[in-house]
Structure 1
C-alpha cells in the first residue's frame, strides 16, 4: 500500500472516531443538562419570580405557589380572578378521592366558567411542570386549548408500577419519576392539562376535602366552599 493511501485511511479513521466521541459527549451533556433542569414543584420554597396564594376553604387553608415563568397567561388568569373575587363562595363541584378536587365553576356543574381574556385560552405545557400530587392544574373541556376558570388540585397518593415503567420508557426526567414514585400523582394528565402551581402547605386539607361523601358523579353531598383566594405575593 502506498504511503499516501495509508495516511488517507488514518486521517479518515481519526475523523470518524472524533465525530463519534463528539456525538457521544454531546449526548451525555444533553442528558446532564436535562437532568439538571429546574423542577420548581420539588421544593416548597417560593423561588424568585414565583407567586403565592392562600386558598381559604370551608375545611381549612391551602397555600399554593404559582409559576408565571412557565405558565404566564394561566397564572395571570388565576391571579386576576382571585383578586377580583371571582372564586369567592364557589364550590369544589367535583371531588374524586385518590384522584383530584376540582373547582372554579360559577355554575357548579363543570360546564361554566370564563377566562379574563373573554374566551378560552391556550394550554401552556412546560417540560419543567408535571401533574404530581399537589399540582394545581387547569381543567378543560376535554380538548386542548379550552381553559377558562376551572382548576383542580391533584390528590392521588400513589403511582402504579406499570405507570412508572411507562415514565421510564418515555424518558421522563429521573427526578420527576422519583417524585411520582415517592408522593403520587396523575402522570397520564401530563401534556393534556396546564400545570401552573403546587401546594406547599395544606395537603392535609386537600385530603380531607377528597374524603367527603359524593354522588356517582363526584358531586359532594354537602358543599365544600372556596371562601376566598388571597394573593400573598
Structure 2
C-alpha cells in the first residue's frame, strides 16, 4: 500500500496556534495508509501548485484528468499572477481556509473565461478529505459556478464519526473511502457539491496554522471567520510546476531576483 502523511507528513507534535488565547491548536495528524488516490505520493511529472505564504509553504498535487476546467482555470490564473498578494479571507478552524479572491472580501472572483463561471466537476474518486484543495463559489456574490476562489479542507482527524461512516456506507461509499475518512477526517457532506481538484501533500501544518489564527466578529458579535488585521494571511505567490518542483530555496532566490529587477525598473522610471 502507498503511504502518505495526511498532508502534514506524520506531524508528531501538537503545535499550539494563535497567540491570542483563542483555544485553537493544530491537530496531531497521523500517517494514513490508503489506496485512495489522494493519499498516494505524487509521481514525477505530476502537476503541482506551490503556495508561498507568510505562514509557510503549502504544496498540492493537481488532478487535471478529473477536474480539467477547475485545474485549467486555477493554473491559468496562477500563472498570470492573479493570486499573488491576495489573502486568506476565511479561516474556520476544523472546517476550511479559503482564499483566491483578489478583492479580499470573499464576494468576488474571476475566471480565465472572461469571468464566466464553470460547472461542478464531481469525480467519484476524489473526496473532501482533510487536505483536499477545492473550488469554491463567491460568498454572497452573483457568480453561480466556480471562479478563482479555492479552499483547503482543514477538518480534524476525528471529524467523521461512526454514525457518519454508517451513513456513508448506506450512500454507496467504498470501504476504502470510509476508512480514509475515518483516519484523515474530512467533510463528506460536501462531496458532489464542490469540485475537488487537488490534495495537499506537503505543508498541512501550515494549513492548520492558518485555521488557528484569531478571527474577527461583526458588530453584533457574530463570528465572521475573517482573520484579524494582526493575523492577516497573505498568499505571496502561487507557483505551478511539475513534481517534485523547485526547492523552497530556489523559489526564494527567484523571488529575490524578481524583487531586485522590479526595484531597478522603478528606479529607472523615476530617474
Same fold (TM over 0.5): yes
Are 2:109 and 2:138, in contact at CA under 8 Å, matched by a contact in 1? no
Q: What are the Cα deviations for residues 41-65 of structure 1, in whole angstroms up to 9, with x where unaligned?
A: 12122366x3111111110000000
Work out the CA distance in 1 between the residues paired with 2:78 and 2:138. 21
4+ runs of 1 displaced by more than 4 Å? 141-145
Q: Identify, as 1 or 2, the structure richer in helix.
A: 1
Work out the CA distance in 2 between the residues paired with 1:84 and 1:202. 24
Correspondent of 2:94 among 84, 95, 98: 98
Match of 2:65 in 1: 69
Deviation at residue 144 of structure 1 after TM alignment: 9.8
Match of 1:131 in 2: 128
Correspondence 1:113 to 2:122: no
Correspondent of 2:41 among 39, 44, 55: 44
Are 1:123 and 1:145, in contact at CA under 8 Å, matched by a contact in 2? no
Q: Which has the larger radius of gyration?
A: 1
Deviation at residue 160 of structure 1 after TM alignment: 2.4
Q: What are the Cα deviations for residues 152-205 of structure 1, in whole angstroms up to 9, with x where unaligned?
A: 000101212221111111110111111100010000100000000000000011
Are 1:46 and 1:65, in contact at CA under 8 Å, matched by a contact in 2? no
Normalised to the residue count of structure 1, the TM-score between the two structures is 0.80
Match of 1:217 in 2: 224
Q: 1:90 to 1:141 in 2, by over 3 A?
A: closer
Q: What are the Cα deviations for residues 15-73 of structure 1, in whole angstroms up to 9, with x where unaligned?
A: xxxxxxxxxxxxxxxxxxxxxxx74212122366x311111111000000000000011
- Cα-Cα RMSD: 1.7
Q: Gaps spanning 5+ residues in structure 2: where?
A: 1-34, 217-222, 243-271
Aligned residues: 195
Q: Gaps spanning 5+ residues in structure 1: where?
A: 1-37
Normalised to the residue count of structure 2, the TM-score between the two structures is 0.69
Are 2:138 and 2:149, in contact at CA under 8 Å, matched by a contact in 1? no
Are 2:213 and 2:227, in contact at CA under 8 Å, matched by a contact in 1? yes
Work out the CA distance in 2 between the residues paired with 1:75 and 1:171. 27
